[in-house]
Structure 1
Amino acid sequence: MYKLFKLDDFFEIKGKGLALAGIADNKELTLPAKTNIIFAKKQNSDFLPLTLLDAEYMRNCWSSHKPRNMILLVAMDEFTRDLERGVEIWCSPAEPIDPDL
């Protein structure tokens, strides 16, 4: 499991889900696939599973020096009601990562 980002902002897209935005901790990360399991983790709490619907990178068009923002679209459910800025968003690979690669 690896950390994607700290949640900077989130907003509902009516009829679609909840968009989560943050600056990717590792700029080399590929976007999580829909088969990945993602989690929200508050300080001193358990990992809360989130249903990933879509993902994309948005870059800052005003400055090439700013890091890219990762946007994840997740399903609205009982876990998304507890989200707040600053929680960490984590990802579990769809398939185990081979440590020899």
Structure 2
Amino acid sequence: MPGNPAAVYVAMQIYGKALLDALQSQTQTLQWFSATLTHALKPDARERFLRMHAYFENGQLKLQSLAKQQSHMLSNLMQANCLVRVPSNIQLEAGQQLSGLFIQN
């Protein structure tokens, strides 16, 4: 497990939940969704999971990134309703599709 609080939260939402479900013999897997990014994202050398806010606009599911994404910061979890997988080394532009998981805080 990572040591920073937000990194632990992300790991528990993705890996911890899957482990707990398996230990309880639940076969439901994580429910990934696809949504449209509303703005550009700079590339990073690592694949990452960003805390974002997903919302519907004109019948489309949209994604808005939140500030304070550092792994030691938790304040943006109050606005976040999903974790979004961002691939490594790719410049993402508005309008591109990304995969995410809804979270409950």
The structure richer in strand per residue is: 1
- Give the structure with the larger helix fraction: 2
TM-score normalised to structure 2 length: 0.30
